[in-house]
Copies of this chain bind each other. A is one copy, B any other.
Amino acid sequence: MRRPITLFTGQWADLPLETLAKKAKGWGFDGLELACWGDHFQVDQALESDGYLRAKHDLLNGLGLRCLAISNHLVGQCTCDPIDSRHQAILPGRIWGDGDPEGVRQRAAEEMKATARAARLFGVDVVNGFTGSSVWGKFYFFPPTPQTHIDTGYQEFAKRWLPILNVFQEQQVKFALEVHPTEIAYDIITAQRTLKAIHYHPSFGFNFDPSHFIHQFINPIFFIEDFKDRLFHVHVKDARVQMDGRTSILASHLDFGDHRRGWDFVSPGRGGVEWDQIIRALNRINYQGPLSIEWEDSGMDREWGAPEALAMVRQQDFAPSSLAFDTPFANENDS
């Protein structure tokens, strides 16, 4: 059985969902992972209006598309971050409010609880997202940064997120953190530290996205193996390291898409992710959820790229073997 291949709508939120859904259907996708921004999946309306979710369902069903996860990265980011003007640009006004940092964080936390409830109502079991972090920006330890300073960041995360996760648990919805720089967990070691900080809360796990490991030089396979029971969702996204002696892996304060950066995101299949290895690892841990293409490549037209990425995944998502190596050698035909 093939895994469903979905398209994450986050990078297309400038388009109305209906427009995008028709395109995705035309390209051959099996479903959509709806972003909680643009008009794709509005948490407040989902909870307030009976007809809202029904209309979404009708739209997707009418096209034969499934929705297996929704995603609220932007609001999640604001639950733990030191808030500044950049956050205003990614939040609805009702959450930004007067922009007082602590108020923003608390409203964002409430919205994440609401997102769990909306997911349940929509019949979706997984919410992907970000968490932000109060200590991310201090990852290079100068001025000297004692571990107690970092510990405080993880404690604050736990304090803010345990109540949210309890709502997820009530709603029987999983929260899947996309492990990513700028988040409380951005690699294998910080993912372990994060789990420990929340006492391995059963509703918390990960949205595996290998693109964020490539530029950190982490083997994504190790993440799959180390967190096999916490892999709630998978993003298909790719990144490329482009070193030439002048480019910095820290990206030099340059925009995505600037070729002088030391790394960038590229259309899946054109970067450093070894998809064959990813599929084998997912087969080993028996992951059966969707493969959701998060398409981002500042150097390629997205309507060219999305179907290319879909074709790549279709070619890679092979079935595991059901035979042992030596079955065909057995001499059972002998009498």
Contact = CB atoms under 8 A, between A and B. Distances in A.
A74 to B, nearest CB: 6
Interface string A311-332: 0000000111111011111110
Interface stretch (A55-63, A106-114, A165-173, A298-306): A298-306
Contacts of A329: 10, 13, 37, 74, 89-90, 144
A252 to B, nearest CB: 4
Interface SS of chain A: loop
Given A14-B328, A259-B281, A251 B321 contact: no
A190 B252 contact: yes
A87, A149, A308 — most chain B CB neighbours (10 Å): A149
Nearest to A181: B140
Give me the 9 closest cross-chain CB pairs, A-B, nearest first. Answer: A137-B137, A219-B245, A144-B326, A301-B319, A189-B252, A13-B328, A187-B248, A92-B334, A216-B248
Contacts of A48: none
Interface of A: 10-14, 37-39, 42, 74, 77, 81, 85-87, 89-94, 135-147, 149-150, 180-182, 186-190, 193, 215-219, 221-222, 243-257, 259-260, 262, 266, 270, 276, 280-281, 283-284, 296-302, 304-305, 308, 318-323, 325-331, 333-335
A258 to B, nearest CB: 9
A27 to B, nearest CB: 15
Contact of A218 (B13, B74, B139, B245): B245
21 contacts: A13-B328, A14-B327, A77-B142, A89-B329, A89-B331, A90-B329, A90-B331, A93-B331, A137-B137, A137-B138, A186-B248, A189-B246, A216-B248, A216-B249, A217-B248, A219-B245, A222-B245, A256-B325, A284-B299, A300-B321, A301-B320
A189 B253 contact: yes
Given A37-B329, A77-B142, 8 more contacts: A13-B328, A37-B333, A140-B181, A143-B182, A181-B250, A188-B252, A257-B321, A297-B321
Contact of A262 (B216, B321, B330): B216
Contacts of A138: 86, 137
